[in-house]
A = this chain, B = another copy of it.
Amino acid sequence: MSTENLLVNYFSQYITLSEEEVEIIRKEDIIREYNKGDILLREGQIAKECFLILKGCVKRYYLEDGEEKIMEFYTENDPITPVSYSTKEPSKYYISCVEPSIVSTGTEERTQKFLQTFPRFVPIFVKIGDSITAKRQVSLDSFKNLPPEIRYQKLQENRPDLINRVPQYMIASYLGIQPESLSRIRKRIWDSK
């Protein structure tokens, strides 16, 4: 699939686009390509943009005593609205690329202009917002208090792709344990089958 089509494709999940709309989205489209390790948002920065991952994989993490504490991974078609983008306060976390990634960036002005031109897109934007909120709630509920081994199994069920495309030490960080522990958990699970 060509790069220009990725964003059109994203909207097509939610709504059927006319020829004219497809054209305008393509023109409006601001797409950037990043390399592995590139940083989309730094701690202390105020986010001017929100993101939509069209291709690749991105992580959101805190830095504590030089250690990455990964809070979330985002992959194809995941939208990211940094807290800092909403609050206009300095970000407490980083966002950076785990893989080479293609990202569509949104600004407030551009979104407003776009929604004025195409009011019928308003409900879709709301829906996307809701789904972000719901997703956050779910991941909080499902991770609180559960032992790491269960968390890993839930991850296997819910996001099997992640386990294959992300280095294990990052998965470990995401689960809140050391890489060695994840290794043992995997061994335990394997042995018990």
Chain B CB within 8 A of A144 CB: yes
Chain B CB within 8 A of A145 CB: yes
Chain B neighbourhood of A69, CB < 8 A: 145
Chain B CB within 8 A of A179 CB: no
Chain B CB within 8 A of A100 CB: no
Contact with B along A127-147 (1 / 0, CB 8 A): 000000000000000001100
The chain B residue with its CB closest to the CB of A140 is B140
Give residues of chain A (60-113) contacting chain B, Cβ–Cβ below 8 Å.
69
Interface positions of A (Cβ within 8 A of B): 69, 144-145, 176
Could you jot down 3 A-B contacts, CB within 8 Å?
A: A69-B145, A144-B144, A145-B176
